């Protein structure tokens, strides 16, 4: 029986990971969340002996939370990294944002397996994470596309890969014109056609930024240059990604869209697959699957990710921070849908690329991206 800690336990990935872990009959050895929420208190009661870490919150909130649960509780970002670094644990990293990078590195340094669902670990800190991984630990992607690619590459010679194709649902605005995109609402952006996910990633799916971030992650996970990483829009989200080999053969992984599949694969690999009661794929019932090229005119966000990848160093971290701030502004009604990509483009333009030598430098670059996006949005809001 393996022991698992779940970081970002109250989020969408965290909840589904807990579901899979209970199927496996494994033990939950630690739960971490950003806020001392009601949901976290519920989880604490469901796992009464499990240690809980709350990353953020003031002293009063901390005292109040500790008084409401019987579990051992620790507070602060250092406690999250400490939980991830206890040897012999599998660490599910479902933290949203750059804070997830520190936890990934702590877990790898301790020789732990990281089931990675935190995008920023590889987007902001790709060189750092790959450096740590060369020394110790294991990194298994949880994202459906990277899990698919991992599955399609099993047993193959990496030298025989000609290109990776990441599929994208295209989001709820796939058919909208450029003009229509100016006035789309938050509610529409949050109504994702195929996947149920958190707020930031759902908006990122609508802009195609999410797919660009996944291209950056794939660059590190599979060690291929950007020109051999492609995006294909596939509205049904049934083909989760594909690998094209040098002999012209393409291997794809298919399934109904449900994150419990990739989570289970990341936890149990390379062991036998776990029986899961997920809806089975019925291709005859579906009848047709559709594919099209992404449109850089209406959805420029993904092209910025290729730019950031080519610029290297701190550019992807700046891009990720700028996107985080711009999506938050969009969700709060302070920015339009096209403002998101425009803010990120502005941040990349203004930023002077540096090398990423430490976690602090990666996080500082992400913070700079947030500031530059805010600067763009503020200038945009002023009447001319």
Nearer to Mg ion, 192 or 351 (CB): 192
Residue with smallest beta-carbon separation from Mg ion:
143
> Would you give the DSSP letter of residue 299?
-
Shortest Å, Cβ 172 to Mg ion = 16
Q: Residues 6 or more apart from 384 whose CB is under 8 A from it? A: none
Contact between 255 and 207 under an 8 Å Cβ cutoff? The reply is no
Tell me whether residue 324 is exposed, middle or buried, using C-beta atoms within 10 angstroms of its C-beta: 0 to 12, 13 to 18, 19 or more: buried
Please, what is the minimum distance in Å from the beta carbon of residue 143 to Mg ion?
A: 4
Interacting positions 260-319 with Mg ion (CB under 5 A): none
- Interacting positions 132-191 with Mg ion (CB under 5 A): 143-145
Write down the least CB distance from residue 185 to Mg ion, Å. Answer: 23
Output DSSP code: residue 49. T
Between 120 and 143, CB nearer to Mg ion? 143
Can you read off the two tokens belonging to residue 253? 């992984």
Indicate the residue among 98 and 168 with the shorter CB distance to Mg ion: 168
Q: Report the residue number, 55 or 231, with the smaller CB distance to Mg ion.
A: 231
Q: Are strands 239-245 and 27-33 parallel, antiparallel or unpaired?
A: unpaired
Residue 57 or residue 126: which is nearer to Mg ion going by CB?
A: 126
**Which residue in 193, 203, 145 sits closest to 169, CA to CA?**
193
Closest distance of CB 123 from Mg ion, Å = 13
- Provide the CB-side half-sphere exposure for 279 (13 A, CA): 9
Question: What does residue 85 show for φ and ψ, rounded to 5 degrees?
Answer: -100, 5
In the complex, least distance from residue 186 CB atom to Mg ion, rounded to whole angstroms: 21
Under rule CB under 5 A, residue 339 binds Mg ion:
no
Smallest separation, CB 145 to Mg ion (Å)? 5
Q: x/- contact string, 99-138, with Mg ion (CB under 5 A)?
A: ----------------------------------------
Q: Which is nearer to Mg ion, 241 or 343 (CB)?
A: 241
| Buried residues in 355-369 as b, exposed as e (16+ CB within 10 A) | ebeebebbbbbbbbb
DSSP-derived secondary structure letter, 252: E
Kindly list the residues in this chain that would bind Mg ion in the complex (CB under 5 A). 143-145
């Amino acid at each position: 029986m393996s022991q698992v800690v779940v970081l970002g336990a109250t989020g969408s990935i965290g909840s589904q990971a807990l579901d899979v872990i209970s199927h496996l009959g494994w033990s939950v050895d630690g739960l971490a969340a950003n806020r001392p929420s009601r949901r976290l208190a519920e989880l604490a009661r469901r796992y009464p002996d499990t240690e809980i870490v709350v990353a953020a919150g003031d002293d009063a909130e901390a005292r109040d939370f500790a008084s409401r649960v019987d579990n051992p509780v620790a507070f602060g970002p250092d406690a999250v990294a400490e939980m991830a670094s206890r040897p012999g644990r599998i660490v599910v990293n479902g933290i949203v944002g750059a804070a997830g990078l520190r936890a990934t590195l702590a877990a790898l340094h301790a020789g732990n397996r990281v089931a990675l669902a935190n995008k920023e670990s590889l987007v902001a800190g790709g060189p750092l994470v790959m450096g740590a991984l060369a020394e110790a630990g294991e990194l298994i992607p949880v994202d459906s596309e990277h899990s698919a690619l991992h599955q399609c590459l099993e047993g193959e010679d990496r030298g025989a890969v000609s290109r990776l194709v990441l599929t994208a649902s295209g989001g709820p605005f796939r058919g909208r014109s450029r003009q229509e995109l100016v006035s789309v609402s938050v509610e529409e952006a949050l109504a994702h056609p195929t996947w149920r996910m958190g707020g930031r990633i759902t908006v990122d799916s609508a802009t195609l930024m999410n797919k660009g971030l996944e291209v950056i992650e794939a660059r590190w996970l599979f060690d291929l240059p950007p020109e051999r990483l492609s995006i294909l829009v596939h509205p049904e989200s049934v083909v989760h990604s594909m690998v094209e080999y040098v002999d012209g053969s393409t291997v794809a992984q298919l399934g109904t869209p449900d994150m419990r599949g990739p989570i289970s694969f990341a936890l149990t690999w390379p062991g036998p697959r776990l029986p899961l009661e997920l809806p089975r794929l019925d291709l005859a019932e579906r009848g047709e699957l559709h594919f099209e090229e992404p449109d850089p005119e209406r959805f420029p966000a993904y092209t910025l990710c290729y730019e950031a990848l080519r610029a290297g160093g701190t550019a992807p971290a700046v891009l990720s921070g700028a996107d985080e701030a711009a999506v938050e502004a969009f969700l709060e009604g302070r920015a339009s849908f096209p403002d998101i990509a425009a803010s990120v483009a502005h941040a990349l333009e203004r930023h002077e690329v540096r090398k990423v030598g430490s976690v602090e430098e990666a996080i500082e670059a992400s913070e700079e991206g947030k500031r530059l996006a805010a600067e763009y949005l503020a200038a945009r809001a002023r009447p001319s």
